Structure 1
């Protein structure tokens, strides 16, 4: 079931897993829907930590989880990360993966650890590419739901955003060309399996 977090309907449907997806709004934007979205996110997080449905945030969704729990834990990155990225996933023995990335804000690692969370994924660009609070609250800064074709389209569509935040369009496209052979089409399912195994 797909629900619009930006809308005025504050009800939360019954589910075993809630996925908060990416988006273009900053968590610091107080002028529109974000304050309502953060309040709903906090309700989901609180319920999950009390044994309710698992919550997984992707990109903006992950940032919303952090901001709802620890206001001020999101900061501007030195430059945008866009393209295919190499990620180290610490919960697997061979935890290296290649995943789509598109973000110009990032999560402060000390915010996660000081709040009792664990950083579970990282790379050279961002110290927090993934985190968890216990087994029921998870965040991923990267985009496992996208594929290389999606990334190429994003790069072409968002050229102005990429250059505004210090990115290089040619470099972003080159990362897709260079790393596409290492991208796995079932990476999202594998990550969901890791999350599910932690709750077994």
Structure 2
């Protein structure tokens, strides 16, 4: 008797990091995410709609992680809009979805919310994320500290959440650092896949732009810390996907 192979956990690659940082860190967003997911029983599939990769049939997917990107959701690139429509189908099926940064904003947009430029500008560096009351019973975030450090690099945000979405975390600059839509779809504005070296690398690569904004890149580098609680979300999500696949 043949045992059916489990459906893959898909990483949708919608962007790439800086070439110098990719070489230094030994990989790109999808590699950092795969490392963070940890050991799991599901096959892993990486697709890149930007280069024309076909988005798989939603019925054949166990879960999805959508990466960050240096693009902007508000530019409505064809590959981005096609991915948004696909994400809406996954959420309708209760397939577990985790959108990170660009993926977070795209998920909000896909479900009827709005993504666009943050009215107060960029948020870059290690920031403090504060959980909301709803996080206490959320399958992904429950049990995390009430406040924890996380790495962030974003100019755009989820400006308006989809109808029925649950706000889970934020901070003074970014009120929507995490939300849940339906039972199994999450967006996080921060980067659980970044380690401290990746965050310092981003500050270094953006030093000129940060200086033009009046920010002190050297001081920002000094404030970078490890973000274990934020990083744990990838492994937590992998467990949710495994449980859902086995249900």
- TM-score under structure 2 length normalisation: 0.66
Greater radius of gyration (CA): 2
Matched residue count = 189
Question: What residue ranges of structure 2 are gaps of 5+ in the alignment?
Answer: 1-44, 136-141
Q: After superposition, where does 1:158-177 map in structure 2 within 5 Å? A: 158-164=206-212, 167-176=215-224
Kept in 1: contact 2:97–2:185 (CA 8 A): yes
Q: Residue 16 of structure 1 aligns with which residue?
A: 62
The root-mean-square deviation of aligned C-alpha atoms, in Å, is: 2.7
- How far apart are 1:47 and its partner, in Å? 2.5
Give CA-to-partner distance per residue, 1:141-164, whole Å, 9 cap, x none: 000111111111111112233345
Q: Residue 163 of structure 2 aligns with which residue?
A: 115
Provide the C-alpha distance between the structure 2 equivalents of 1:123 and 1:106, rounded to a whole number of angstroms: 13
Q: 1:128 aligns with which of 157, 160, 176?
A: 176
Q: Residue 84 of structure 1 aligns with which residue?
A: 126
Query: Which one has more relative contact order, counting CA pairs under 8 Å at least 6 apart?
Result: 2
Alpha-carbon spacing, 1:164–1:10, altered in 2? closer, same or farther (3 Å): farther
Q: Residue 51 of structure 2 aligns with which residue?
A: 7
Q: Residue 151 of structure 2 aligns with which residue?
A: 100
Question: What residue ranges of structure 1 are gaps of 5+ in the alignment?
Answer: none
Q: Which moved more, 1:79-88 or 1:89-98?
A: 89-98
- How far apart are 1:69 and its partner, in Å? 2.5
